[in-house]
Amino acid sequence: MTRCYSSRMAACFDRLKKNQQKAFIPFLTAGDISMPLTLKLMHAAVDAGVDIIELGVPFSDPMADGPVIQRSSERALAQGVTLRDVLGLVGAFRATNLVTPIVLMGYLNPIEQMGWPRFAEMAQQKGVDGILIVDLPPEESTNVTPLLAKHEIDQILLVAPTTTSERMQLIAKSASGYVYYVSLKGVTGSGVLDGSQVKEKVELIQKIISLPVCVGFGIRDAKTAAEVASFSAGVVMGSHLVQMIYDLHQSQMADPVLLETVSKWMGEIRRAIDQK
């Protein structure tokens, strides 16, 4: 049985299972271009049929992220975007959406500076459903896991191509909501995905970890998304989307047209996943 501390996350995966659908999870860097635009993009994503939104917390040294997301973090940081601002953005989203799960994806430093108890309390108040901290391995999260559970926040953990079966068993003890399978060695946006290898690894993970396995890194288009959705619980798409938004903005496209263009692209991915 899937372990979810967030009621929204549990309801999301229950609905997907009932409808025999797979999760579409886009990644957006909070505050890239502007916070108001990020909020509009979050709502546009929901209108296009996404299931969960991963919201990147800008950080100066995002070690797991490739150039596209690194630059998006730099742009957000240049505008002074902080962890508190990101939590405020989630709160603004919750003013009109109480259904779509939000997962914060980022790094330890901003949370350590705020303090874990304060962060967990604020995250719950603002409506965060899960966190994925890239540089927080399960061995170092023994105090964090129960704190997050207390505040009904799922701890999303990463599984890599090099993760052993023994380590997966450790991850299974701490993770909740879903696990994120990093389909490629390297950083986000790098490499070309080998579907057969990813499928083989996902099947192994599913034998050890009972949570839904969602796959990210290397998924660039509708065809790849559909392929991955055919053997996983969900598809995470980040670098291509972040670059698209930036390019459209740089072309001086008006926000309403930009939102319509991005929403149309997300709708195409949604339909491809559903046609798996």
Active site residues: 54, 65
CA distances from 198 to 228, 231, 247, 270, 274 (A): 8, 9, 30, 20, 19
Contact present, 265 and 47 (Cβ < 8 Å): no
Q: Is 110 helix (H, G, I), strand (E, B) or coil?
A: helix
CA pair distance 241, 262, nearest whole angstrom: 8
Strands 130-133 and 179-182: unpaired
The alpha carbon dihedral of 183, 106, 241, 94 has a sign of positive
The Cα 142–Cα 12 span in angstroms is 27
Place of tokens 């009972």: 210
Q: How many residues does the chain have?
A: 276
Q: Give the separation between CA 121 and CA 176, rounded to whole angstroms.
A: 18
Nearest alpha-carbon partner for 28 in 84, 113, 90: 90
SS3 152: coil
Pairing label, strands 179-182, 102-106: unpaired
Per the structure block, which two tokens stand in for 269?
């991915």
CB atoms < 10 A from the CB of 223, how many? Answer: 11
